[in-house]
Amino acid sequence: MTTIDEDKRTAAGSLGVSGFGGDKKCWLDLRGLGEWRQAVGEEALHQGFDAIVAADAADLAPLPPSVTRVLVPEELPDDFGVADLVLVDPRRHGMPSVLAAQHPGVRFGSRHDVRDPDDLAAACESVRRDPVILLHFLDPTNIPMEIVLAAADGTEGTIITRVDGVDDATVHLSVLEHGPGGVMLAGAAPGEATRLAEVVRDRSPDLKLVTLTVTGVRHAGTGERACVDTCTYLRQDEGILVGSRSRGMVLCVSETHPLPYMPTRPFRVNAGAIMSYTLADHEHTRYLSELTAGGTVLAVGADGRTRRVTVGRVKIETRPLLSIDAVAPTGERVNLIVQDDWHVRVLGPGATVHNSTSLQPGDEVLGYLPGRERHVGYPIDELCYEQ
C-alpha cells in the first residue's frame, strides 16, 4: 500500500481537507446550478462550507480565501487562477504528482466517474496514491463505494463523494460505518446547503451522567411496558435513559448480559412503562409510546458517550411493574417504572449491572438530569410540577 509522503500530507492539511476519521467536509459544486448559482453559493459560504467547486477559474476568482477554491477543468488551462486545488482525471490529464512537478505551487488531486470495473480499479489506485480524490458513483448501488473505501483503509488521503441531495449524503456518510471524508453537493436549490451542513456536522455529544442513590423500590401493579428494539448491536455498558419525569432519567442497560432462561438480545433495551420519557437525541425527549420503526433513540454508555441509533420496533406488552425511586446529589427526585422482573437491569457507576428487583435503598445507579421542562419533546423554561 502506497504511503503518501510528507509533502502530500502537508498539502492536504493546508487545503482544509481531513483524512479518514476526521471531521466530515461540505463541498458545493457550482457547475450546473444555473439561476441558483449566486444564491446557493452565498448560502454555502454563510454555512461555512469547506470548498467551492467550479469548472472555470474565473468562477473561483470572487470567492474569499477562507474557502478552498477547487477547479475541475475539462481541459487543463494555462492559468489556474486563484484555485487552491485542481482535480484532474489521471487517465486523461496525467498523474497529479506529475502535474504538481510541472506546475510548482499548484496543488493537484484526482477525480473519477465510476461507472464500470475499469473506473473502479482506477479509483482504487487513486485513493491509495493521491491526497484528495473526488468520486461520482453513477449506479444506484453502494457496492463500488464500499470497495473504494476498503481500498483506502489506512491511507492519508481524503475522499469526497458527489451527492445529488441531502438524503444521499446521509447514506454516503454511513457506508462502511465511517463513509468518505466529505460530500460534494451538486444541483442544489436554496436551502439545501443549510440542510447539508446540519447533516454533515451533526454530532452526538457526550452527556454528563450523575450518580443517583436509590431511596425506594415497590411493586406498582400492572401496566404496559415497552421493549425498544434497535437496529444496532448495543454494547454491554450501553443502554437508553428512561424516566417517569422529564427532569431525571436512569440508564437502563441493553440485554447484552447473559440470562439463564433465554438468549441475549443485544439490540434490545427492556426500557420501562410506556409513558416514560427517553431521549430521541441529545436534546429532544420522546415518550416510549411515541417511538416507532425508523425513528431514532439515543444510546448512552456508562461513560456518557452517546450515539443515535435507529429503532427497529417497539414491543409493548402488559406486565407487572416495579417503581424505583432515587435522588440526585442536587436533591432532584427521580423515578423509573420498569417491568417487575429481575432480568430488567440498570447500570451503576463503573458500568455495574443491577437487576432491578434486587435494588435496595442506598444502591447507586447512573442517571441524567436534563435540567429543563419539556413540551412536545422540546426543552422549555416554564412552571411544571411532576410527581
Q: How many CB atoms lie within 10 A of CB 105?
A: 6
What does the DSSP 8-state code read for residue 99?
H
Q: Maximum Cα–Cα distance for the chain, whole Å?
A: 81
CA distances from 137 to 114, 116, 117, 322 (A): 5, 10, 12, 53
- State which amino acid sits at residue 182: G
* Average of per-residue pLDDT values in the chain: 89
Among 16, 349, 368, smallest CA distance to 160 is for 16
* Model confidence at 12: pLDDT above 80: no
Average pLDDT (347-361) is: 96
3-state secondary structure of 320: strand
Mean pLDDT check: name the lowest of 22-31, 213-222, 265-274, 333-342.
22-31
* Model confidence at 385: pLDDT above 80: no
Query: Could you tell me the pLDDT band of residue 346, with boundaries at 50, 70 and 90?
Result: very high
pLDDT on residue 8: 34
Query: Could you tell me the pLDDT band of residue 379, with boundaries at 50, 70 and 90?
Result: low
Q: What pTM, to 2 d.p., does this model score?
A: 0.76
Give the helix/strand (H/E) hosting 98: helix 96-102
- State which amino acid sits at residue 71: L
Q: How far apart (Å, rounded) are the C-alpha atoms in residues 244 and 277?
A: 6
What are the residue ranges of helices labelled H in the chain? 6-14, 37-46, 57-60, 90-93, 96-102, 117-127, 143-151, 166-172, 192-200
* Model confidence at 249: pLDDT above 50: yes
Q: How far apart (Å, rounded) are the C-alpha atoms in residues 143 and 35?
A: 34
Query: Could you tell me the pLDDT band of residue 22, with boundaries at 50, 70 and 90?
Result: very low
Q: How far apart (Å, rounded) are the C-alpha atoms in residues 125 and 290?
A: 48
Average pLDDT (256-275) is: 92
CB 182 within 8 A of CB 162: no
Q: How far apart (Å, rounded) are the C-alpha atoms in residues 53 and 171?
A: 22
CA distances from 265 to 220, 224, 236, 309 (A): 26, 20, 11, 16
CB 261 within 8 A of CB 211: no
pLDDT digits (tens, 9 = 90+) for 56-97: 999 999 999 999 999 999 999 989 999 999 999 999 999 999
Query: Could you tell me the pLDDT band of residue 177, with boundaries at 50, 70 and 90?
Result: confident
* Model confidence at 2: pLDDT above 50: no
pLDDT on residue 247: 87
